[in-house]
Each structure stands twice: as structure tokens, then as C-alpha cells.
Structure 1
């Protein structure tokens, strides 16, 4: 299905901005506030409408998240909810309240649901300590609808782990300490340059990243059937 035109003024500014990012800037593309002003001349707060897209799962980084960016540059990293589609632009909330924040952190065990790190822990191979924040994650429901739910996530996972380094020496030392069977398994993965995960492993990996509401649905689905 073809995308609507971002120049169609029948759409609101936020929807047009979303279409502009997809159609003109493109994922991993860099733009500035001046680019936004030029694309939407005479439209007040067009840049703010771009920022509003983050509430719908769109990842738009600034120099605070991406050190490669200049102070006035932004990067369109990933598309979120297609807000131009009917019913998809329902506002999930302008900000997360302190009560919501406490509830989400408690339900998520005060851990990043993506990597499992706790606040204040030091990332491996660095001196950087983790800080948890509340992220909005789009979860496609069994019926097909997209819902935006809140989840605890550390800053490194939220921005894609940019700047993260791997210690090759530590990796090689770990290989030396493997037992014969583990070494053979790893050797096979390296030789094929891929690893086939079992169905259970794939389901677990997907489950552990889910927000609390969706994890509850999974737990309910795993309950033994009633007689």
C-alpha cells in the first residue's frame, strides 16, 4: 500500500512530519530543525510535532544519545506506530507520571527488560553505570492492533548500545575456559557464522523484553488448562 503524501494538508502536522521522515529523510538519515522549518514553512511548532512522534515508538536521536551527531542534528533511527493510519494516533500520554514510573519499575523488577542490568551497575568493559528510564514500546496484540505500553529500559539499550566495545582478550580467555562439549558447540556456530535458536529460546527472548501488561498475558497463556 502506497504511503500518503507528506505534503497533503488534510493530515495534521505530526502525521505529515512522520510521512516526511519516512519519505524524505529515510531511516538513519540526519536532519536539523532548519530542515523541518523548510519542509513546513509557516507551520508553528513543527519541530515539536516531530518530537511528539517519540510517544508512538519512533526513535529520533539527538547528540545526547548519538555522539556522532552535531549539536543541532537529529537522526531518524526507526519508525514506530504509523500515525497517519486511522486510529493509530491516539495519544498515549504526554508524560509518564511519578506513580506510573514507580509502578513500572516495580513490575519490571527494577531491571532493564532488554539486557537485565540494574540501576547503578557498571556495564561490562566500561566505567559507565546504568540508569533506568521508562520507555514506550509498541506491542502488536494477537488481534493485530498495536498498543503502546510502558517498560523499564536502560539508556544504552534505548539508544542501541552506541559506543559499546567488546574486549577480545576477555572473549578469547573465556573460550580457553570452555569444556570440550561447549567448545565444540561454539566452534560449530562460528564455523556457520550463525546460531539456530530453539523455539523455546526465541520465545523466551521475546518474552523478557515485553512490558508488564503483555508479560501477564503470556503467563496466563502458560497456565494449565482448567478441567
Structure 2
């Protein structure tokens, strides 16, 4: 079945943009904001209509998700719902508003809930700066039902966390199994919403990043044989 033409103006801009991505850009390829403007001359906020497709399962990455892109580029990764078909392309009620985004970022302390990095902070060992956005995270509740919850995450963790489902019930079971001392430690961390790593833990994290020859020198310093 052939697709409608992306130039057919009986479709709204978002649906035309979807057809343009599929028939002109192609999955896996990069396009620019300028190319969007040229494809839809005189159409205000055409680039925003492209971003709206994410609400319908389309994956369109920016340099927040794909560090190989510059700020003017986007990559059409995966087609979602065929929004040009009858009955498709109605905006879901779960779409995140600007107000919701600000509230969630404030609630989550303006840092990534997965790795703890803050917006603008540089990732260790790189020159790349973190950007925060809102991720939808399916969470298995205590009653077994799955609820989609919103959480602040950085661009790296959002990419790595795609498709993951959190299991609240499993976490609650593990909390219940903690002995008194460990439960007190966890309670303090949760109350402060932060964990202070011990020097030996920070040192272990640094050692793990070393290449094999350097790790063997650490083993030698500790009286262990090389591997």
C-alpha cells in the first residue's frame, strides 16, 4: 500500500512531517532544522511539529540523545504510529506540558535521578555537558499493575534506559529484608536524597576504569599476582 504524498496539504503539518521523514529522510538518517524549514516554507513552528511525533512513538534524537549530532541536527531513528492514517495522530492526554516539566525537574532536585548529574555538568572524562529532560518510566506497582511515571533524567541515561521497567514491589521486598543497621543507613540516604561515597568506594571506581596493565600495577601494590 503506497503512502500519501507528504506535500498533500489536506494533512496537518505534523502528519506531513511524518510522511516527509519516512519518504524523504529515511530511518537512521540525519536532517537539520534548516531542511525542515525548506520542506515546509511559510509554516510556523514546523520543527516543533516534528518533535510532536515523539508523543506517538516516533524516535527522533537530538544531540541530547546522540552525542554525535550537533545542535542543529536530528536523527530519524524509528517510525512510530502512522499518524497520517484515519483515526491516528490524536495527541495523547499524557503529553508533558512546559509547566509539568518545570515541576518535575524541581521535584527531582534538578538532577538526573539515575546518575545524579546536574544540567550543564560535564560527564567524567569527557567534554560533553549533561542536559536534563523528562523520561516516562513504566513501574510495576505493588498490586502488579504497571503505571507510567515521570522522572528527570540526563541525555545519556535516557538513551541507556529506553525500554526499562522499574519493579517497585521487588524493591520494597528488598527493603523489608534489611537488618537494623543497613535499614538505618538506607533511611538516612533516602531522607537526605543523597549518598556520600566512602573513599575506598571512590578509589575502587577509579581502579575499574584503568587498562589491564595499570590494574596489574595496582594488584602489585596490594601484594596480588598479575592477571
* TM-score normalised per structure 2: 0.48
Q: Which structure would you say has the larger RCO, counting Cα contacts within 8 Å and 6 or more residues apart?
A: 1
The structure with more radius of gyration: 2
